[in-house]
Structure 1
Amino acid sequence: MPDLDDIDRRLLRLLQRDATRSTQELAEAAGLSTSPAWRRVRRLIEEGVIGRQVALVAPAKAGLHAMAYVQVSLMDHTEPTLARFDAFVQDHDQIMECATITGSYDYQLKVVAADPEGLEHFLMRQMLPLGIIRSTVTHFVLRQTKYTTALPL
């Protein structure tokens, strides 16, 4: 586990807001010269603190107007069932997030689709026919009041 100092945290905050900043811009904003800023960012990448840099696409602008959180309870917790569900999750791009959770359900998924009918089709025609799901509860997102990928550093 790398030790993050104040400068590392400052660089990470800047990159979380805009990963397209040039090394010169990062250096100036962090109070460094260009070479040390570049070396620190490279180290953060090599140590796995920065996993990847991506473009955040607005779902509605990409034609994805429906989002839901789906809680899933599996029939059993055998290795084949878990592996099959995990493979399903990895194979379907509509599933934005998947987390194993505590409580009455085993997983929580964040799923997107073009419209509510698309979400229903995904659940009823793709996920439930797996035959390994005991039950689901779906919560449609009406309005997203906050969305961030930035960690509080």
Structure 2
Amino acid sequence: MPQLDKLDKSILNLLQNDASITTAEIAEKVGLTTTPCWRRIQRLQEQNVIHKTVTLLNPDKLNLKLTVFVHVKAARHDSTWLKKFADHASSFEEVVEFYRLSGELDYMLKVLVSDMQGYDHFYKRFIAGIELRDVTSSFAMEKIKNSTAMPLSNA
């Protein structure tokens, strides 16, 4: 695991909050000159600490106003079914996050849709494509915290 010093963490915090910030602006804010700052960013990319750079879109502006957490209990637990299920669930653009869990539930999907009718359309296509033991949906009523920034205190 890469060793991150205070400057690395400061650079990462700045980039997490605004990936469009220039190297010169980062350098000024962390107290470096541009070239050493650029080298640090390059090293963080080479070490895959900076995994990728993306643009975050506003779901409300894209008419994705309903967030649904879909909890799935697997029909089977063999490797063939698990691969098929992972491929099936990942194929839906509405599924923006997908986790395998420990405990009573096997999987959780975060699904973004326009409204209840949009979710119903997704649900019918989702369950038609694979055998499932149980599917339960929870609808987010309010978004209290939503961050893409990683905590860096333990890095």
Alignment TM class, shorter chain as reference:
over 0.9
Q: In the alignment, is residue 138 of structure 1 matched against residue 137 of structure 2?
A: yes
Task: Tell me the distance in 2 between the aligned counterparts of 1:131 and 1:38.
Answer: 48
Q: Which residue of structure 2 aligns with residue 94 of structure 1?
A: 94
Q: Percent identity?
A: 36
Structure-1 residue corresponding to 2:80? 80
CA distance in 1 between partners of 2:88 and 2:43 (Å): 35
Who is 1:109 aligned against? Answer: 109
Secondary structure of 2:44's match?
helix
Distance between the aligned counterparts of 1:22 and 1:33, measured in 2? 12
Structure 2 length as normaliser, TM-score?
A: 0.94
- Structure 1 unaligned residues grouped into runs of 5+: none
Q: Distance in 1 between matches of 2:85 and 2:145?
A: 29
Q: Note if contact 2:88-2:130 (Cα within 8 Å) is conserved in structure 1.
A: no
Query: Structure 1 segments of 4 or more deviating over 3 A?
Result: none
1:30 Cα deviation after fit: 1.1
- Following the alignment from structure 2 to structure 1, what is the Cα–Cα distance between the partners of residues 118 and 103? 28
Letter in 2 for 1:98: F
For structure 2, the residue ranges without an aligned partner over 5 or more in a row are: none
